[in-house]
A and B are shown apart, each in its own frame.
Chain A
């Protein structure tokens, strides 16, 4: 009863969001969600580029410390908290899409509700942790758990798509998506557990020197670059009619991703 009322209240409010409501009436909620998913995806690609660029300063720790101070400022702290919104929404919704498309879960209204509820919970949890700002965790243990769970998820998706007809690139996009499903939100949350965990070059370098974490980072890096790159190419495929222009753009995106891959790998290996 309460749940119903709450839902009605929320959907009523949502119906009044100016632009969205027009689309909800004319194309339905999933259309709006698909746009949100797309925008979050693009936003993350942009963030990731900046991210890897800043991380590249780690090769001169002093420079990194100097530069990164800047991001410690209040408005940036707020922004880095807000980053949780696109990350978690895209991740969970991506998970839902994988279930919908590959696992035949077609009546996924309740899934959608979970996506929204968990996203909100995650964002608040992260905010809370950011404020507590002092818990110490065993990095290794944390990653072990996250990586194990996530690899099994990815394995399920791999086994599901192995024999299916269809494009291998597309399947790999879903596989990398499922691999990032927990890794990225976990990474994000972890990076906000302690002061200095990401803002002191020494601490970061010490961490990356652990071979296990190094592999985790590299795995995440390549999964993300492939996934984001394919995503962008797929978007150009929707809009660009000229085959030549489209191939050109695809090559450009590929090269950009490869460059970031190179920067990221060099970083992880050199340290």
Chain B
């Protein structure tokens, strides 16, 4: 493996002032384990401070830095130069913002708008069942938790949503499905009927065609498609229906 790479980033830029969009090329000299966020920062510090991008934790835990590199939605803070060159078999990368929400500037898209879809599935316990006693936690067996615990690892990076075959128009998105499924399976949630209505509604699971791009791109390696399929198989015991 080389210790340095000559990298070209072809970045899709957007200027909200005059609504102009263009591709700008940046040539960089990069060490093998620099991450793409490091490259972006390098561009800011050495070449072009006006280029805007988004990140927060910079260690793959928050899902702020999602971008599309050569068409693949991923976390820029997790992608090492070395791995990128190897995976895409080229040192030239097209860098674009995800198209799940309007772009604000350059690679920054409006996550607030993207999150609207998560809000719609009510990512919380709507109506908590009564805990065993006031001073006690629920007991949930590890086996029971196993069914949904992986879904709770989602960081809402929207990579899955961006990759999904169902356009970004009507589908609430794979990650919204996860958020909804968690509480369908969570024994602490009493209000299942409302959830199932959303889940099986017009913007729900039936917009999924099992293309499994979600599982393929998910940086947290969550088998998202599995959860969506669980909903389709629909074998939940719904206390409100029984």
Contact = CB atoms under 8 A, between A and B. Distances in A.
> Direct A–B touching in the complex (beta carbon < 8 Å)?
yes
Interface of A: 22-23, 25-28, 30-31, 33-35, 37-38, 97, 100-104, 106, 161, 163-167, 170, 234, 237-241
Contacts, number: 106
A34 B231 CA distance: 19
B200 A30 contact: no
B229 interface: yes
Contact of A238 (B71, B73, B166): B166
A245 B208 CA distance: 21
A166 B225 CA distance: 17
Contact of A31 (B202, B212, B234): B212
A266 to B, nearest CB: 33
B165 A31 contact: yes
Contacts of B210: 30, 34, 97, 100-101
Interface stretch (B6-14, B18-26, B147-155, B167-175): B167-175
A31 B167 contact: no
A27 B213 CA distance: 5
A163 B242 CA distance: 11
Contacts of A101: 210, 229, 232-233
B72 interface: yes
Nearest to B166: A238
Nearest to B192: A165
A188 to B, nearest CB: 24
Contact of B213 (A28, A102, A163): A28
A61 B138 CA distance: 74
29 contacts: A25-B71, A25-B72, A25-B87, A26-B68, A26-B70, A26-B73, A27-B163, A27-B165, A27-B211, A28-B216, A28-B217, A31-B163, A31-B211, A31-B213, A31-B216, A34-B209, A34-B211, A34-B212, A38-B209, A97-B210, A165-B196, A165-B235, A170-B206, A234-B206, A238-B167, A238-B171, A239-B167, A240-B169, A241-B170
Nearest to A102: B233
A165 B204 CA distance: 13
B239 to A, nearest CB: 12
Contacts of A161: 234
Contacts of B87: 25
Interface in B202-242: 202, 205-207, 209-213, 215-217, 223, 225-226, 229, 231-236, 238, 241
Contact of A165 (B167, B215, B234): B234
Contacts of B229: 100-101, 104, 106
A137 to B, nearest CB: 36
A25 to B, nearest CB: 6
B209 A165 contact: no
Contacts of A100: 210, 229
Nearest to B235: A164
B211 A102 contact: no
B124 interface: no
A30 B71 contact: no
Interface of B: 68, 70-73, 87-88, 163, 165-167, 169-171, 196, 200, 202, 205-207, 209-213, 215-217, 223, 225-226, 229, 231-236, 238, 241
A164 B71 contact: no
B167 A28 contact: no
Contact of B234 (A28, A34, A164): A164
A237 B202 contact: yes
Contacts of B233: 101-104, 164
A30 B212 contact: yes
A36 to B, nearest CB: 11
A170 to B, nearest CB: 5
Given A27-B163, A27-B217, A106-B226, A239 B169 contact: yes
Given A31-B165, A106-B229, A170-B206, A165 B238 contact: yes
Given A101-B210, A237-B202, A27 B216 contact: yes
A25 B170 contact: no
Contacts of A33: 211
Name the 8 nearest CB pairs between A and B, nearest first.
Answer: A28-B216, A34-B211, A164-B234, A26-B72, A26-B71, A30-B212, A166-B234, A27-B213
Contacts of B226: 106
